[in-house]
Chains A and B, each alone.
Chain A
Amino acid sequence: MKILTGNDLLTGFVTWWDGQGWSPHVDDAVDVGDEAETILAREEAARRVNASYAIEASLDENGKVRPAHIKDRVRALGPTVRPDLTLKPAEPEALNWVI
């Protein structure tokens, strides 16, 4: 599947295209098929996202979206060396799928 990601213009935080808008959670990302360029151009122009791009991803056995490349998996959750600063600070084991 192909999903879209970028950074919020104001905060710089990582965002994922959920079909309606931008979500901080990779699990909300949706397959955009061949619509990537159209959506990105529109969203960048409206300043709803910054430095956006399309990536390959897949669904794991639980149906969770998992970016193909390690860099985007790290982006999806946060720095592996600071679990307290990730999106799931109470679940250090959440980092297991990232690496």
Chain B
Amino acid sequence: MYKYDSYDQQMVDTRVAEFRDQTRRRLEGKMTEDQFKPLRLQNGLYLQLHAYMLRVAVPYGTLNATQMHALADIADKYDRGYGHFTTRQNIQYNWIKLEDAPDILADLAKVEMHAIQTSGNCIRNISSDQYAGAAADELIDPRPYAELLRQWSSFHPEFLHLPRKFKICVIASDNDRAAMRLHDIGIQIVKNEAGEIGCAFYVGGGMGRTPMIAPLIREFVPLDQLITYSEAALRVYNRYGRRDNKYKARIKILVHEMGKDEYARQVEEEFAHLLEQGIEPPLAELERIKTFFQPPPFVSSEVETPNAERLSTALEANGDAAFARWVRANCSAHKAPGYVAVTISLKPVGGIPGDASADQMHVMADLAKEYSFDECRVTHAQNIVLPHVEIGRLNELYAKLAEAGLATANIDQIGDIIACPGLDYCSLANARSIPVAQKIAQRFAENGKGETLGQLKLKISGCINACGHHHAGHIGILGVDKKGTENYQLLLGGSEAEDTSLAKITGPGFDEAGIVDAVEKAADVYLARREDGERFLDTYRRIGMDPFKEALYA
């Protein structure tokens, strides 16, 4: 993975010193809250319901063991022994004291981490496929390009005061595991008819109060023009994006109102202008970055035996049904013979989605070191991935995960719920998300339908800002404030994957108990009506909303 050079380190260290001074001045009364707030937000420090919250950037979700240990140490030393992994592949701490924040940033800088641009109207953490560099279906490893974008967008003087926040995602597989088309810019690395590798640019997607799927703006941008085209796309937005209305300031509104063709035309114009200026980073820099993302030294293994066959052999040798369930649910196809990518579920039944204790973080760090070439990943679904695990060692890894309460077998099943912090922590929320997630997970654990339902992605947001991605859930839930009480709208038919779609509201909302019953009724409609091989989403798309509404509102 990427390693800071002296320039990177100096930038981060300088920022820590700067924020230490700003914090001191605030505490001494030399700065008002109005003056200080934008400065602390630029360093990821929010004021939430119960305390300050610090959001730490995890670039494209990639961490090494040392960094994960450091995150655990921060949870123990400065917070209350846990952290919350987010849908932007970051981590948040909920109980931070202002006076400690500079020390935390200094601790992060020691392990090449920071909280810069995790808030504010700037380019946020670049996200990517959690299986990057491991996935059997990827064209190339997208991480060097994500890193290049990270470097370009960090402290970019032109894009630190955009009309609104800006989110970029880079993937390199046809199977989208990163909600690419629901980003401000979604980049898919593709091969054109001539066999050249480049980028397809999707611009103007997003969730929030006006969900939109990003349209394709350009089919192919050569890889050596990635930054130039990105800059052109941002420039047009920065020039015309609305600053008069916060709710219409995202690029999705601009692309929608301007029209994708006109937006694309203007980007082309700017692109041509920028190409003349030669702003693309030197190829040598990209080559330098690529050296950090070389495949790890996989144990050489004869290629003839397919990984699926190896997995079957491992399952037969073990014979344990729980282990088999976990392998089926939590292991993904790897490009290297003899390996799989393992997803550690942070969704135990009745647990808080995305939360991990400091002890669990230490365990995951140790396991990353021992079983996955010192690497782990945060997923947008709030889980942790060990990207490179030998199939022959799954058995012992599973045992160690189980010992730490980290062996829940439910990836992409109904218990693997994305949930924002909701009204339990967030000052923007209208309703609680976490208790609803807990009750649904418990209901489906008790009725035993979880595994039978197969892939069923359920996503819950506690307000219209959609941090819980409810628009993209096969089943989505949106918490709203109904005359001072919590109410929950049910949505069906969303997808954040390559078949991106936006979920539709079923009808009137439900109270907390009612929404759990409603989800079970929707699941039962699927079970009764599904045809061979159909996921919940497939059945919904085939039979439409009406059968579900009949069951829900009978």
Q: Which residues of A contact B (CB under 8 A)?
A: 7, 9-14, 44, 47, 50-51, 68-71, 74-75, 78-82, 85, 99
Please determine whether B51 and A10 come into contact, CB atoms closer than 8 angstroms.
Answer: no
CA distance A70 to B486 in the complex (A): 9
Query: C-beta contact mask, B402-440 vs A, less than 8 Å → 1, else 0?
Result: 000000000000000000000111010100101100100
Q: Does B49 contact A (CB under 8 A)?
A: yes
Q: 30 A-B Cβ contacts within 8 A? A: A9-B26, A9-B98, A10-B27, A10-B97, A10-B98, A10-B99, A11-B52, A11-B97, A12-B48, A12-B51, A12-B52, A12-B96, A13-B50, A13-B51, A44-B33, A50-B47, A70-B484, A70-B486, A75-B49, A75-B50, A79-B50, A79-B94, A79-B425, A80-B432, A80-B435, A81-B352, A81-B432, A81-B438, A82-B424, A85-B95
CB distance from B84 to the nearest CB of A (A): 11
Which A residues are in CB contact (< 8 Å) with B29? 47
A12-B48, A12-B50, A80-B424 are known; give 6 further A-B pairs, CB within 8 A: A7-B47, A10-B99, A12-B96, A14-B49, A74-B424, A85-B80
Residues from chain A with a CB closer than 8 A to the CB of B423 are 70-71, 74
Secondary structure type dominating chain A contacts: loop
**Is residue B485 within 8 Å, beta carbon to beta carbon, of the partner chain?**
yes
* Given A10-B97, A80-B435, A81-B438, A69 and B484 contact (CB-CB distance below 8 Å): yes
Q: Across the interface, do A11 and B98 meet the contact criterion of CB distance under 8 Å?
A: yes
A12 adjacent to B432 (CB under 8 Å): no
Inter-chain contacts of B432 with A (CB < 8 A) = 74, 80-81
Tell whether, in the assembled complex, residue A11 and residue B51 are in contact, meaning their CB atoms are under 8 Å apart. Answer: yes
Contact between A12 and B485 (Cβ–Cβ < 8 Å)? no
Query: Whole-angstrom distance between the alpha carbons of A11 and B79 in the complex?
Result: 11
Given contacts A12-B51, A12-B98, A51-B47, contact A79 B424 (CB under 8 A): yes
Chain B residue, CB-CB nearest to A7: B47
Enumerate chain A residues within 8 angstroms of B438, measured Cβ to Cβ.
81
Query: CA–CA, A11 to B352, complex, Å?
Result: 24
Residue of A nearest to B429 (CB): A71
CB distance from B461 to the nearest CB of A (A): 16
CA distance A50 to B427 in the complex (A): 15
Please, what's the 1-or-0 string for B91-129, where 1 marks a CB less than 8 Å from any CB in chain A?
000111111000000000000000000000000000000
Determine the chain B residues whose CB is within 8 A of the CB of A51 once the complex forms: 33, 47
CB neighbours (8 Å) of A82 from chain B are: 352, 424
A81 to B353, CA, bound (A): 11
User: Which of chain B's residues has its CB closest to A71's CB?
Assistant: B423
Which of B27, B98, B352 has the most chain A CB within a 10 Å cutoff? B98
Name the residue of chain A whose CB is nearest to the CB of B430.
A71
A12 to B78, CA, bound (A): 13
Contact A7 B51 (CB under 8 A): yes
Whether the pair B49, A71 counts as a contact (CB closer than 8 A) is yes
B33 x A50 contact (CB < 8 A):
yes
Shortest C-beta distance, B237 to chain A (Å), equals 31
Q: Which residues of A contact B80 (CB under 8 A)?
A: 85
Cβ < 8 Å to A, chain B residues 315-336 = none
B429 contacts across to A, CB distance below 8 A:
71
Cβ-closest chain A residue relative to B94: A79
What B residues does A50 contact at CB under 8 A? 33, 47
Q: Are A78 and B50 in contact (CB under 8 A)?
A: yes
Contact with A along B39-74 (1 / 0, CB 8 A): 000000001111110000000000000000000000
Q: How far is the CA of A40 from the CA of B219 in the complex (A)?
A: 56
Cα(A71)–Cα(B432), bound, Å: 10
Q: Which residues of B contact A13 (CB under 8 A)?
A: 50-51
Looking at the assembled complex, report how far the CB atom of A38 sits from the nearest CB atom of chain B, in whole angstroms. 18
Q: Which residues of B contact A80 (CB under 8 A)?
A: 424, 432, 435
Given contacts A12-B96, A44-B33, A47-B29, contact A68 B51 (CB under 8 A): no
